[in-house]
Amino acid sequence: MGLRGDILDYLACRDDEAARDRLDGLVARYELEPELRDDDADTAGSDASRDPASGADDPPLGDADRRRIDRVRALDTAPVGVTLCGPAYRDTPILYANRTFRALTGYSLEALRGENPRLLQGPRTEPESVAALREAVSIWEPVTVEVWNHRRDGTPFLNRVSLRPLPGADGTITHWAAVQEAVAEPTDRDPRDER
């Protein structure tokens, strides 16, 4: 999977030192320019990780959430969209989306945080792709699918989504990470007509 798989492996690291090593490898291999805070991709104090822009009833983010958010934040300028969602028991809301994802979809971070990624679904979204994503989430397995998503302005785009569950310290799945990239823009024909 190249860059996509390497990003997901980095985000899945449970050990901070291993994560830093993987980030260094990503930077060297793909010539990325990470958005580091205090020379440490895992610093848990970024403004983005402190204010989840969620309701007053939502629990505050823990240190593990902040570390994972800061890892995604380090990939703000990566050439692919990266999102972190969780926890699953709260309908897997978006905790953070990198700048590339926000540019791809037209949504601000404030509009995305707290929302389930299904907000990208629209008239061209195929039920089969959604079912594949839903099944992967229900059985806690990684998946890559191509799905017609819609930008904030309603414009459809074919999105290649790689989704991976992220285990917490005790090994249970606590979050989901996704890497997305547009692989096709809309055409005059509806892609469902090809079936």
The CATH architecture one would assign to domain 3-194 is: 2-Layer Sandwich (3.30)
Mean pLDDT of 26-51: 62
SS3 at position 175 = strand
Mean pLDDT on 67-87 = 95
Coil, strand, or helix at residue 169? coil
CA atoms within 13 A on the CB side of 65: 19
- pTM for this one? 0.84
4-8: long-range contacts, CB 8 A cutoff, minimum separation 24? 4/80, 4/144, 4/162, 4/179, 4/181, 5/162, 6/30, 7/75, 7/78, 7/80, 7/82, 7/177, 7/179, 8/142, 8/162, 8/164, 8/177, 8/179
* pLDDT for the residue numbered 43: 36
Q: What is the pLDDT of residues 78-109, one digit of tens each?
A: 999 999 999 777 889 999 999 999 999 999 99
pLDDT of residue 184: 83
Q: Where residue 55 falls among pLDDT bands split at 50, 70, 90? A: very low
